[in-house]
Chain A
Amino acid sequence: MAEFEPVLLRRIAKKASPWLDAYRADGGYRALQKALEEMSPGQVVDAVKASGLRGRGGAGFPTGLKWTFLPKDHPGPIYMCINADESEPCTFNNRILMEEDPHQVLEGIILSCYATRAATAYLYLRYEYGRGYRVLQRAIDELYGHNLLGRNILGKDFHLDIFLHRGAGAYICGEETGLIESLEGKRAWPRIKPPFPAVEGAFRKPTVVNNIETVACVTHIIDRGVEWFKSMGVPPDPKNPRDAGSYGPKLYCISGHVNNPCCVELPMGITLRDLVNEHGGGVWKGRKAKGAIPGGISMGIMTEAEFDTPLDFAGPGKVGCLGLGTAAVTVFDEETSIVDVLHNICRFFSHESCGQCTPCREGTGWMLKIAERLRRGQGRLEDLKILEEVGDKIGIMPGTTICGLADGAGWPVKNAIRKFRPEFERYIRSAEKSSLLELVGGH
């Protein structure tokens, strides 16, 4: 572990890191030059496929495989959408990449467009990232000035335009079809699938939607090779044929009750305990941890006893969480009331549910009302059963909603109840009221 050198974060906090000259001096756009001169688009796709790169946005879908779903020899335009609507709570790795090293991201976008034959890319940026917007726009303008964007890039028969599009800061715009709808100027209601975006996406044309961190990884896969990428991480579990493995470096965000909240780059597969203790500086105020959220709150909750779980794509699933998600870890200490945690989770999802599917629209509202009542000391034991049931039944996995964000709304709730049931029962029996009167970060 000691010899690991950050790659994605290599240029963070360096002088003039967002500028093209500095990026080129650090070897930037070497990968693009190499790809355009030596590789066909198909070879780029093959390289990404061989690397085992999985989407960093949360679902962990193999990126190369996603690109192969595009129709072959499509006569019309193909669109690339870059998902920078980083709205999963506790997650900030995309922001750091965009603000500190935009050219790394843009090179990845250009490479991805070359591979997928897309001539237009839309970078969907959440509204709150004002600095990211300014930095990216400046970087894009630089690229147009240096023939790295526009027509005949680097003298080759390859054209590309990148448009920055600012969303209005809704969680649902991070869902890929919700993002496409929002991009088209409509209400961000996720679409019913099929057709999948690869067949009919933005403006009814084949579309790929990739995360910022994913495309940043593409840059380094082309630059350093597939073998380098596969030298890190966790190989697939031979007992599970559906496990695609977790290769490559990953950005972990650490926040919450730790001494040193930060974003670190590590090979996949570090345990949560190591992450918190070595990189997060341990739990604050000398307390012990009560639990943690492994990758954005929609992934569920891990108890302190489960902290030895490796944070790769398969790990959190083994302890009842939904998955790795965005690998944004939030730790809460032993003095945190789990009822307040539950309430905050319910409040977020009730506010952010798009309202299209009945089970999610009404379910999240119901869970919030119950959580509010629990905090007022008016909970009933049967409320726990209802919360668990609603949490179980909303989502794309049981089939009751259109998009997967509903699974993420139910998962932390049922995790909280199942893993901390004694505390809930004690809270309800003693008719305790929450000591936290002011909500943190209330809307």
Chain B
Amino acid sequence: MATVYVNDKPVDIGNEKLNLIQAAQKAGVLIPHYCWHPALTVVASCRMCLVEVGERKPDGTIVMQPKVVPGCQTPAKDGTVIQTQTNRAVDAQHQTLEDILLNHPLDCPVCDKAGECMLQDFTYQFGSANSRMIDEKNTPPNKPYIGDNVTLFTDRCIMCSRCVRFTREIAGTAELQIVNRGHHSEIDIFPGEPLNNKLSTNVVDLCPVGALCSKDFLYKHRVWNLKTKESVCPDCSTGCSIHLDGNKNIVYRLRPRHNPQAQGHFMCDEGRLGYHYVNSIERFLRPTIRREGKLTPLPWTEIASLVRRGFQSAAQKDGGSAVGVLSPFLTCEEAYLLAKFLKGVSPQARLALGPVPVVGEDDTYPKDRRGRPIEPVKFTIRAEKCPNRRGVEAILRHFQSEIISFEQVVRDAVEGRVQALYLAAGYPPRPSGWVNDSQAQALQRVPLVVCHDLLPSPVSNFAHFVLPSAAWAEKEGTFVNHAGLAQAIHWGVTPTGEVRTDGQVFFDLLERRGLAHAPTVRKEMAAEVPYFAALAGSDLGEYGILLESSHG
């Protein structure tokens, strides 16, 4: 057990290998830093984290080092004394900030980073309001094209080199480097080799200032107006923890949220930029019934009872002819409620797993210059492009012994063994689509098709009921990733039009009263489905809960 003294306050850091920044964090003391990042190597070059360090001997005497040292580079040991408030430390931090600001353009009013900028924050806390430099600042030209998704405001850069180290150490593709020397140093790419790897936009989050900006978010919104929710990226089974930033029912951007159990610090560009369909104007906005070949709006209350009666009458003849298809984009709670409904209609009702989109193979990083993966793997983009296959499968296994595939449902439909079909889809738009034309043609033989989806598809063209579904950004619930990690998602925007969350629709079908409250449903599900027993508490925490993988 090691004890360090941060500003005279003893803190037990256990046996962890920490640097002074991390040790001080444990004591609730912020040591300002730019170049240091927990996922990257230490370069100790920004000199922002300078503190005074000493050692407390066993006899209680303290020996301080005669100079300031960078906190990021110095390991915390038993008896280490950290002083962040002494004149020398404060002066050193003050001076570093003055130096950094010498050539910084201070264009905060037009900078995307303003509001979440480490330079603003630290200047406010540790710096001074005035610069003593009266000479002209360096104004290197901006580099609008440094990559398809990233732009560089060269003059705002403070040379922390985080982005350079990211492309070398995490992506491995090493597109970025520093060119020129001294106060003319700049971040740049080689001509014709832009920053276009699949993790490129992470450099925007890493950038402590507004030098590297995301083209997707550029000049879209001031960050202090954004409402941030903790959520999970739905675009592959890695299940990256994210921050969902939205305002006034529009999703503006996704940012990775550190989660050691899921993905670490980063996320891929595919997931980060894959949210746009949430804001799409193509989405279904109201529940509709097909009358004389045309979709006609109908209130939710009438729709629910019509759908329920349709399934009940189909099940009366043959329980097995009532079929539900549960897509891997449903949350566990929604899958549970829909399964409850269908099994309530008839215990013989069959539940199938919706199509699981798989694209290529798992893509691991870092890569070398030829694009071959290198060990140890630091980030994986998975081939399975859905967030919750394991969670939905666990529900299916609980309610029936086998998991029926979507292809089986299509075959059954051709043979006329499906009388009522509930397609809980909620698939995001992808080039191939979740259902092809021949499958749709087969399903056309089913007398009752309910299509519960986000966007038009070959099925919605003939379905008898087309219900609008809510996107992941609009609902609460639980996703289980490839490794059996259950994480909570939270809504960041509210559904528009008459759209209700899928859970609420299933509530109505079940004739339950009140609002579908995900944590309550989760509790019920945890009590009933052993796989989810660990989720009985209402809170899944910041990092989620690793479920036993014996069932999956």
Residues of chain B in range 336-367 having any CB-CB distance to chain A below 8 Å: none
Q: Which residues does chain A contribute within 8 Å of B70, judged by CB atoms?
A: 192
Q: Which residues does chain A contribute within 8 Å of B103, judged by CB atoms?
A: 362, 365
| Interchain CB contact (< 8 A) of A366 among B44, B69, B133 | B133
Question: Are A358 and B158 CB-contacts (below 8 A) given A192-B42, A353-B183?
Answer: yes
Question: Are A369 and B133 CB-contacts (below 8 A) given A397-B67, A398-B68, A400-B68?
Answer: yes
| Interchain CB contact (< 8 A) of B159 among A350, A351, A355, A393 | A355
How distant is B47 from chain A, measured CB to nearest CB, in Å? Answer: 5
| Interchain CB contact (< 8 A) of B69 among A352, A365, A386, A399 | A399
A354 at the A/B interface (Cβ < 8 Å)? yes
Q: Which residues does chain B contribute within 8 Å of A354, judged by CB atoms?
A: 181-182
Instruction: Say whether B181 contacts A362, CB under 8 Å.
Output: no
Question: Are A399 and B50 CB-contacts (below 8 A) given A192-B42, A358-B45, A359-B99?
Answer: yes
| Interchain CB contact (< 8 A) of B96 among A170, A373, A400 | A400
Q: Which residues does chain B contribute within 8 Å of A350, judged by CB atoms?
A: 182-183
CA–CA, A363 and B95, complex, Å: 10
Q: Mark B159-199, 1 if CB is under 8 A from A, else 0.
A: 10000000000000000011011111100000000000000
A356 at the A/B interface (Cβ < 8 Å)? yes
Question: Are A358 and B159 CB-contacts (below 8 A) given A350-B183, A366-B99?
Answer: yes
B102 at the A/B interface (Cβ < 8 Å)? yes
Q: Which residues does chain A contribute within 8 Å of B180, judged by CB atoms?
A: 355
CA–CA, A357 and B138, complex, Å: 17
Question: Are A358 and B181 CB-contacts (below 8 A) given A370-B135, A399-B67, A402-B45?
Answer: no
Instruction: Say whether A400 contacts B181, CB under 8 Å.
Output: no
Q: Mark B34-65, 1 if CB is under 8 A from A, else 0.
A: 00000000111111101000000000000000
B232 at the A/B interface (Cβ < 8 Å)? no
B132 at the A/B interface (Cβ < 8 Å)? yes
Q: Which residue of A lies closest to B164 (CB)?
A: A187
CA–CA, A351 and B99, complex, Å: 17
Instruction: Say whether A361 contacts B182, CB under 8 Å.
Output: yes
9 more contacts with CB within 8 A, not counting A350-B182, A373-B135, are: A187-B177, A189-B43, A350-B183, A353-B181, A355-B182, A362-B183, A364-B182, A365-B183, A400-B68
CA–CA, A4 and B182, complex, Å: 44
| Interchain CB contact (< 8 A) of B99 among A192, A358, A398 | A358
Q: Mark B122-140, 1 if CB is under 8 A from A, else 0.
A: 0000000000110110100
Instruction: Say whether A386 contacts B132, CB under 8 Å.
Output: yes
How many pairs, one residue from A and one from B, have CB atoms within 8 Å of each other in the complex? 98
Q: Which residues does chain A contribute within 8 Å of B91, judged by CB atoms?
A: 393
How distant is B123 from chain A, measured CB to nearest CB, in Å? Answer: 13
Q: Which residue of A lies closest to B72 (CB)?
A: A192
A330 at the A/B interface (Cβ < 8 Å)? no
B92 at the A/B interface (Cβ < 8 Å)? yes
CA–CA, A356 and B69, complex, Å: 16
A309 at the A/B interface (Cβ < 8 Å)? no
12 A–B contacts, CB within 8 A, in A order: A170-B181, A192-B42, A192-B43, A350-B182, A354-B182, A355-B181, A357-B46, A357-B47, A358-B100, A361-B182, A366-B99, A393-B92
A401 at the A/B interface (Cβ < 8 Å)? yes
CA–CA, A373 and B136, complex, Å: 11
Q: Which residues does chain B contribute within 8 Å of A351, judged by CB atoms?
A: 181-182
- Residue in B45, B48, B132, B133 with the greatest tally of chain A CB atoms within 10 Å: B45
Instruction: Say whether A353 contacts B182, CB under 8 Å.
Output: yes
CA–CA, A399 and B65, complex, Å: 10
Q: Which residue of B lies closest to A389 (CB)?
A: B95
CA–CA, A355 and B178, complex, Å: 10
CA–CA, A256 and B492, complex, Å: 71
Instruction: Say whether A400 contacts B95, CB under 8 Å.
Output: yes
Q: Which residue of B lies closest to A365 (CB)?
A: B183
Q: Which residues does chain A contribute within 8 Å of B158, judged by CB atoms?
A: 358
Instruction: Say whether A400 contacts B48, CB under 8 Å.
Output: no
Question: Are A358 and B132 CB-contacts (below 8 A) given A365-B182, A393-B95?
Answer: no
How distant is A63 from chain B, measured CB to nearest CB, in Å? Answer: 26
- Residue in B132, B159, B181 with the greatest tally of chain A CB atoms within 10 Å: B181
Q: Which residue of B lies closest to A373 (CB)?
A: B135
B73 at the A/B interface (Cβ < 8 Å)? yes
Instruction: Say whether A398 contacts B92, CB under 8 Å.
Output: yes
Q: Mark A336-375, 1 if CB is under 8 A from B, else 0.
A: 0000000000000011111111110111111001101100
Q: Which residue of A lies closest to B89 (CB)?
A: A399
- Residue in B43, B100, B102, B182 with the greatest tally of chain A CB atoms within 10 Å: B182
- Residue in A358, A363, A366 with the greatest tally of chain B CB atoms within 10 Å: A358
Instruction: Say whether B185 contacts A355, CB under 8 Å.
Output: yes
How distant is B103 from chain A, measured CB to nearest CB, in Å? Answer: 7
Instruction: Say whether A358 contacts B92, CB under 8 Å.
Output: no
Residues of chain A in range 390-443 having any CB-CB distance to chain B below 8 Å: 393, 397-402
CA–CA, A382 and B46, complex, Å: 27
Q: Which residues does chain B contribute within 8 Å of A356, judged by CB atoms?
A: 43, 45
CA–CA, A366 and B134, complex, Å: 10
How distant is A374 from chain B, measured CB to nearest CB, in Å? Answer: 11
How distant is A200 from chain B, measured CB to nearest CB, in Å? Answer: 14
Q: Which residue of B lies closest to A354 (CB)?
A: B181
Q: Which residues does chain B contribute within 8 Å of A398, judged by CB atoms?
A: 67-68, 92
Q: Which residues does chain A contribute within 8 Å of B159, judged by CB atoms?
A: 355, 358, 361
Q: Which residues does chain B contribute within 8 Å of A362, judged by CB atoms?
A: 99-100, 102-103, 183
Q: Which residues does chain A contribute within 8 Å of B92, judged by CB atoms?
A: 393, 398-400
Q: Mark A105-120, 1 if CB is under 8 A from B, else 0.
A: 0000000000000000
CA–CA, A53 and B173, complex, Å: 47
Q: Which residues does chain A contribute within 8 Å of B67, judged by CB atoms?
A: 397-399
Instruction: Say whether A359 contacts B96, CB under 8 Å.
Output: yes
Q: Which residues does chain A contribute within 8 Å of B69, judged by CB atoms?
A: 399
Instruction: Say whether A401 contacts B183, CB under 8 Å.
Output: no
How distant is A189 from chain B, measured CB to nearest CB, in Å? Answer: 8
CA–CA, A365 and B136, complex, Å: 11
CA–CA, A82 and B181, complex, Å: 24
CA–CA, A370 and B138, complex, Å: 14
CA–CA, A366 and B136, complex, Å: 10
Q: Which residue of B lies closest to A171 (CB)?
A: B181
Q: Which residues does chain A contribute within 8 Å of B43, judged by CB atoms?
A: 189, 192, 356
CA–CA, A357 and B68, complex, Å: 14
CA–CA, A400 and B46, complex, Å: 9
How distant is B98 from chain A, measured CB to nearest CB, in Å? Answer: 8
Q: Which residues does chain B contribute within 8 Å of A399, judged by CB atoms?
A: 50, 67-69, 92
Residues of chain A in range 21-72 having any CB-CB distance to chain B below 8 Å: none
Instruction: Say whether A366 contacts B102, CB under 8 Å.
Output: yes
CA–CA, A356 and B161, complex, Å: 9
Residues of chain B in range 98-153 having any CB-CB distance to chain A below 8 Å: 99-100, 102-103, 132-133, 135-136, 138
Q: Which residues does chain B contribute within 8 Å of A187, judged by CB atoms?
A: 177-178
Question: Are A358 and B138 CB-contacts (below 8 A) given A352-B181, A369-B133, A400-B95?
Answer: no
CA–CA, A26 and B180, complex, Å: 47
Question: Which are the 9 A-B pairs with shortest beta-carbon distances?
Answer: A365-B183, A399-B67, A362-B99, A369-B135, A355-B185, A353-B182, A399-B68, A356-B45, A192-B44
CA–CA, A196 and B202, complex, Å: 33
Instruction: Say whether A365 contacts B44, CB under 8 Å.
Output: no
CA–CA, A366 and B91, complex, Å: 18
CA–CA, A61 and B185, complex, Å: 32
Instruction: Say whether A401 contacts B47, CB under 8 Å.
Output: yes
- Residue in A351, A355, A364, A366 with the greatest tally of chain B CB atoms within 10 Å: A355
How distant is B3 from chain A, measured CB to nearest CB, in Å? Answer: 23
Q: Mark A259-299, 1 if CB is under 8 A from B, else 0.
A: 00000000000000000000000000000000000000000
Q: Mark B66-81, 1 if CB is under 8 A from A, else 0.
A: 0111100100000000
| Interchain CB contact (< 8 A) of A358 among B47, B73, B184 | B47
CA–CA, A400 and B50, complex, Å: 7
CA–CA, A136 and B42, complex, Å: 38
CA–CA, A170 and B181, complex, Å: 10
Q: Which residue of A lies closest to B179 (CB)?
A: A187
CA–CA, A189 and B159, complex, Å: 13
How distant is A269 from chain B, measured CB to nearest CB, in Å? Answer: 29
